[in-house]
Structure 1
Amino acid sequence: MSASPVLITGGAQRLGRHCAERLLDDGHPVIISYRRERPELDELRRRGVVTLAADFASEAGILDFIARLKAETRSLRAIVHNASDWAPDTTGDEAGTNFERLFRVHMQAPYLINLHCRELLEACSEPQRDIVHMTDYVVRKGSKKHAAYAASKAGLDNLTLSFAALYAPRIQVNAIAPALIMLNEGDDEAYAEKARAKSVMEMVPGPGVIYQSLRYLLDNRYVTGVTLPVDGGRHLR
């Protein structure tokens, strides 16, 4: 248990929400950012989670979030960069705008938060402080339909190495690279079967495997600058 909260960006749903709830179960205070209001936030607030609205699609929005975060807490035990935008590529006039938004959400926001919130991590009285970047399996292979997404996640993966070297030994910086972890509402069995077939483990594991990976990083004092693949052995297909 830590008195300093863990920050999870994009913590209102799916993997971010699951990790927030599990951290609460383990006794850690939690702060999350969220892009828009949704019913799930009420339950998180009831459990004591601090929820901060954030627009990471602009530099001004990122800096505004950082200012409000610093007004909320004097220290952080960890930062988990989970905010993400799974936007497909476009070929029209909006292509450049789409790429810029993904760059800001996946790279600029973590970059600026890491820089400006270093003091919050160093103020934590615990012996371990962490930054964890949530990247993606597609960093390894690219994507025909989500090239901008894959490129910006690859940039986030590289930031892991830079910040790990910069912040050692006081702050550990690592990444988790998931493949498909959860199905979406409306995904039919045909889609699920196709998804399972992409890995040698032949399963859609659910969000628990991500929390296990996050817990490993938060509990291990001798790991930094690494990316943990959580993909069911896709590279073996």
Structure 2
Amino acid sequence: MTPGVAIVTGSGKKRVGWYVADALARKGYSVAVHYRSSEREARETVAHLQSLNVAAEAFRADLAKDQEVSSLVERVFQSFGRVDVLVNCAAIWERKKLEAVTAEDVRRHFEINTLGTFLCCQQVGLRMVAQPSGGCIINLGDWAEIRPYPDYSAYFPSKGGISVLTRNFAVELGLRNPNIRVNAILPGPVLLPEDLPQAERNEVIASTLVKREGRPENVAQAVLALIENDFITGVCLPVDGGRSVYAPNPQD
């Protein structure tokens, strides 16, 4: 796909979305940087991307609110004229014992992780339908939807929905414009929490086949690969160092 315009949600702070935006900019894409509350970091991200000689602009929106998503998409189209790539990186994940999880915890995770991704796919995707060249949408799920681990009971159901959502939009949008493709990446241990105890960090690393923690650049590389291969759609690609296919022997 010839470089065009990309929206990367959750790309203000220097987390996975930042690295995706950086990789796209280095490929020549103009980048719409989305943020919800991290305005200062988003403006720093924009300055960084502009230093790579591409157009970049920051856009604020609460992705759980359909009118704000609609406004975000409209403002991006007003600024750039089109959208060729959407990468949905915005997400929250909160660690909490099952006994302490509230309905509000579950609701907030679904609103941000699932509903926000849905609304962005819907509103950007329908705009892509009108573009002869279509577009490419990539969502971020989580490898552990197939083997969830404890203390994230509000998070995993919200991320588990991403795979079904991705296949659904691949069909819905592809039938309207065959040049639209929708895929997902299911990252493994990438950017582990800084406060994660070393023993748990070692356990996570040991549970991969490559025996190391992933880097956000690995996710960004997968994004570029899915953009460039125009015969892949409706696929959920684990980028997890083999963690989803390997169950280590606890006695090892």
Which residue of 187, 190, 213 maps to 1:204?
213
Shifted more, 134-143 versus 47-56: the winner is 47-56
Which residue of 33, 38, 53 maps to 2:60?
53
Which residue in the other structure is 1:180 paired with? 189
TM-score normalised to structure 2 length: 0.83
Q: Decide whether aligned partners of structure 1 residues 192 and 141 sit closer, same or farther in structure 2, where only a CA change above 3 A counts.
A: closer
Shifted more, 145-154 versus 2-11: the winner is 2-11
TM-score normalised to structure 1 length: 0.88
Which residue in the other structure is 2:34 paired with? 33
d(CA) in 1 for partners of 2:233 and 2:155?
Answer: 25
Deviation at 1:60, TM superposition (A): 4.8
Deviation at 1:59, TM superposition (A): 4.4
Alignment deviations for residues 101-159 of structure 1 (CA, whole Å, 9 cap, x no partner): 1111122112122222224324556x462111100012112332112211111111101
Alignment deviations for residues 158-212 of structure 1 (CA, whole Å, 9 cap, x no partner): 0111111111122100000011112344556544322211211110131121111
Give the superposed CA RMSD. Answer: 2.3
Structure 2, gaps ≥5 residues long: 248-252
Q: Decide whether aligned partners of structure 1 residues 229 and 40 sit closer, same or farther in structure 2, where only a CA change above 3 A counts.
A: same
* 2:225 pairs with 1:216: yes
Which residue in the other structure is 1:11 paired with? 11
Q: Decide whether aligned partners of structure 1 residues 146 and 192 sit closer, same or farther in structure 2, where only a CA change above 3 A counts.
A: closer
What secondary structure is seen at the aligned counterpart in 2 of 1:51?
Answer: strand
d(CA) in 1 for partners of 2:106 and 2:74?
Answer: 26
Q: Decide whether the 8 Å contact of 2:135 with 2:181 is kept in 1.
A: yes
Alignment of 1:96-107 (within 5 A): 96-107=103-114
Structure 1, gaps ≥5 residues long: none
Shifted more, 5-14 versus 40-49: the winner is 40-49
Shifted more, 157-166 versus 57-66: the winner is 57-66
Shifted more, 218-227 versus 208-217: the winner is 208-217
d(CA) in 1 for partners of 2:191 and 2:119?
Answer: 29
Which residue in the other structure is 1:24 paired with? 25
Q: Decide whether aligned partners of structure 1 residues 188 and 99 sit closer, same or farther in structure 2, where only a CA change above 3 A counts.
A: closer
Shifted more, 170-179 versus 127-136: the winner is 127-136
Deviation at 1:63, TM superposition (A): 4.2
d(CA) in 2 for partners of 1:60 and 1:95?
Answer: 27
* 2:89 pairs with 1:82: yes
Which residue of 157, 164, 182 maps to 1:158?
164
Alignment deviations for residues 66-89 of structure 1 (CA, whole Å, 9 cap, x no partner): 444444343101111110101234
Q: Decide whether the 8 Å contact of 1:10 with 1:82 is kept in 2.
A: yes
Shifted more, 61-70 versus 223-232: the winner is 61-70
What secondary structure is seen at the aligned counterpart in 2 of 1:147?
Answer: coil
